[in-house]
Structure 1
Amino acid sequence: MSILVTGGAGYIGSHMVHALVDAGERVVVLDNLSTGFRSSVPREVPLVEGDTGDAGLVSRLIAEHGVDAIIHFAASIVVPESVAEPLKYYRNNTANSRSMIECAVRGGVKHFIFSSTAAVYGNPTRVPVAEDDVLAPVSPYGSSKLMTEIMLRDATAAHGLGHVVLRYFNVAGADPLLRTGQSTKNATHLIKVAVETALGQRGKIDVFGTDYATPDGTCVRDYIHVSDLVAAHADALRYLRAGGAPVTVNCGYGRGFSVLQVIETVKRVAGVDFRVDLAPRRPGDPASIVAACDRARELLGWQPRHDDLQTIVEHALEWQKRLATAAAGR
């Protein structure tokens, strides 16, 4: 049997594929390569270029590779873009996920792991926010992901599709072995942008909003190392294979850092100063969002190994240096 990883050539998905291969799993990747890279996928893993909304293609992959588990990463993820182009997000994140779920049900797939987001909480009424707290997304991105969560819940009730929903907080860092990392050009992830600025690849970094109700006025987020996030997926798959009931789980460390704190950490780790400009708020950004993460540890047995902002920044910086070296050698 095989595991189908959608978006497996992307940032988080490629880390997942490497981890699955390391564990001896059979894997097939489906990615349209809009933001992913063939080079991020291990050579021995089949990579099929295509769209998750192509039901015929997905059904063929399930049948031909004997897929019994799907880990669904493929999505559009930029919050401000979702505000400007909501229909793009409802098509790619919601309609295509509906098609994936239908193919899974028809193809007899037993396990479905879905990459959701802390954006489903919107501006939480309490911090840390727990999985059973109010869901009130403030962006189409968050809404598009919540709709898929609801579809999975209903598909499970009707068809018995076993699933785990993982709500990501802010993902950063890179594979400690530097096999893959965040490679997308013009990325909007704070740590990615900050390390690019530290290396002189950007002239400055903008801080969007300094008047939030937080200690220093900038947004506070819970940053999780990508390798720890991938470990949560592996734990979720093990949980489902052992007969675990459908569950929704936060993926974070339970501790928040402000934008300015992150920037200062990048400056310290890189050993350089760089220009920081203050800018107006972006639409769709909550002030503060931090995970209550006990459920991941208790139900999935998740044990993070890189729960340290400096380590996350160090790995992100080393990956960015590797990208720069590769680009210079072309």
Structure 2
Amino acid sequence: MTTWLVTGGAGYIGAHVVRAFQAEGITPVVIDDLSSGHREFVPEGVEFVEGSILDTDLVAETLTRTGCAGVMHIAGFKYAGVSVERPLHTYAQNVTGTVSVLDAMARAGVDAYVFSSSASVYGTPDVDIVTEDQPLHPESPYGETKLIGEWLAADAVRARPALRAVCLRYFNVVGSGTDEVYDSSPHNLFPLVIEALLAGKTPHINGDDYATPDGTCVRDYVHVADLAISHVAAAKALADGRELLSAYNLGSGDGLSVAQIMDAMARMTGHDFVPTVGPRRPGDPARIVADGTAAARDLDWTMRWTVDEMVKSAWSARVAHS
């Protein structure tokens, strides 16, 4: 049976990818330093290595010992706003960490690599729907590190022709595929709203005067279980030797507004509320949505969940951990 290493596999996205691997009969091995992940998110019976991806020897030893065929590199410092305040930490985790993973793969002779990138590599595009050939202009240290991560993957492939790699870009990941795992980020919209409701507070909207149908910002929101399926599809495509693009958007193609999210939150949580509205946040564009056409063609990408189902799954998983 094929084995893949999942870096950051105790985190919100990584833990869903671990389960998606299991569903396809692929054995996952997890390495995570638990800086933002949770040991209990790793399913029972999955080998767990507690440690940092910066420890190249540990990563290489794990790859060799477990006979991994590939690496799903999800570990990273993922907070764009905080990255402005902590750029050196962000670069150490996301750039030096990625160098370490690729070095360990070369040492262990592992030749398949899926990199969890980000749509933040586009910055603020001047189009409503972002395709993979849109110019890359990241606007935060986090976005910069993700773009450098893509460069590193390309350079590693050029230097080692046996290596095959693909990068996956996406915006806002929401929901849950199991009550065992929930989004514990203090910065993402869904957990911010859910934690406010659990605390008896009223959620907040930043600006309702944008040039959108309801005046609130429109963004890509994709369900984490869908995301995990396409990560594993990418791994299988590499293993099968199929021709792939160097990068894919995992995007909705149409997006959801913040007001639509708030409406669904009120409906699906049983907490009837009217969000408070404050001024716009500087730099927030009215609409950013990614086109997922290429990923739909090559990586089994599709939006399987409605906004109500996204919210319901997120709420159920969070309440299960109350």
Q: After TM superposition, is the score higher than 0.5?
A: yes
Aligned equivalents of 2:104, 2:278: Cα separation in 1: 44
| Counterpart amino acid of residue 33 in structure 2 | N
Question: Which runs of no fewer than 5 residues in structure 2 stay unpaired?
Answer: none
Decide whether the 8 Å contact of 2:179 with 2:318 is kept in 1.
no
Aligned equivalents of 2:217, 2:127: Cα separation in 1: 15
- TM-score under structure 1 length normalisation: 0.91
Summarize the Cα distance change of 1:31–1:281 in structure 2 as closer, same or farther, 3 Å threshold: farther
| Counterpart amino acid of residue 166 in structure 2 | V
- The answer for the alignment partner of 1:254 in structure 2 is 253
Aligned equivalents of 1:282, 1:139: Cα separation in 2: 15
Aligned equivalents of 2:13, 2:208: Cα separation in 1: 29
Summarize the Cα distance change of 1:8–1:286 in structure 2 as closer, same or farther, 3 Å threshold: farther
Summarize the Cα distance change of 1:217–1:81 in structure 2 as closer, same or farther, 3 Å threshold: farther
- The answer for the alignment partner of 2:223 in structure 1 is 225
Which of 163, 172, 175 is the equivalent residue of 2:174? 172
CA deviation after TM superposition for structure 1 residue 178, in Å: 2.1
Question: Which runs of no fewer than 5 residues in structure 1 stay unpaired?
Answer: 325-330
Q: How does 1:69-148 map to 2 (within 5 A)?
A: 69-148=70-149
- The answer for the alignment partner of 1:188 in structure 2 is 187
Q: Per-residue CA shift, 1:22-66, capped at 9, x if unaligned?
A: 222222100000111111101101111111111111111111111
Aligned equivalents of 1:237, 1:202: Cα separation in 2: 43
Summarize the Cα distance change of 1:304–1:262 in structure 2 as closer, same or farther, 3 Å threshold: closer
Q: Per-residue CA shift, 1:153-195, capped at 9, x if unaligned?
A: 11111212211111012100001x423222x2x6221122222
CA deviation after TM superposition for structure 1 residue 218, in Å: 3.1
Q: CA RMSD in A?
A: 1.9
- The answer for the alignment partner of 1:203 in structure 2 is 201
- The answer for the alignment partner of 1:301 in structure 2 is 300
CA deviation after TM superposition for structure 1 residue 303, in Å: 4.0
Aligned equivalents of 1:284, 1:76: Cα separation in 2: 22
Summarize the Cα distance change of 1:85–1:29 in structure 2 as closer, same or farther, 3 Å threshold: same
CA deviation after TM superposition for structure 1 residue 138, in Å: 1.3
Summarize the Cα distance change of 1:235–1:296 in structure 2 as closer, same or farther, 3 Å threshold: same
**How many residue pairs end up in the alignment?**
319
Q: Per-residue CA shift, 1:83-140, capped at 9, x if unaligned?
A: 1111111111111111111211222112100111111111112121001111111111
Aligned equivalents of 2:73, 2:65: Cα separation in 1: 18
Question: Identity of counterpart residues, as a percentage?
Answer: 40
- The answer for the alignment partner of 1:327 in structure 2 is none
Decide whether the 8 Å contact of 2:175 with 2:224 is kept in 1.
yes
Which 4+ runs in 1 deviate beyond 6 A? Answer: none
Aligned equivalents of 1:180, 1:102: Cα separation in 2: 31
- The answer for the alignment partner of 1:315 in structure 2 is 313
Summarize the Cα distance change of 1:202–1:133 in structure 2 as closer, same or farther, 3 Å threshold: farther
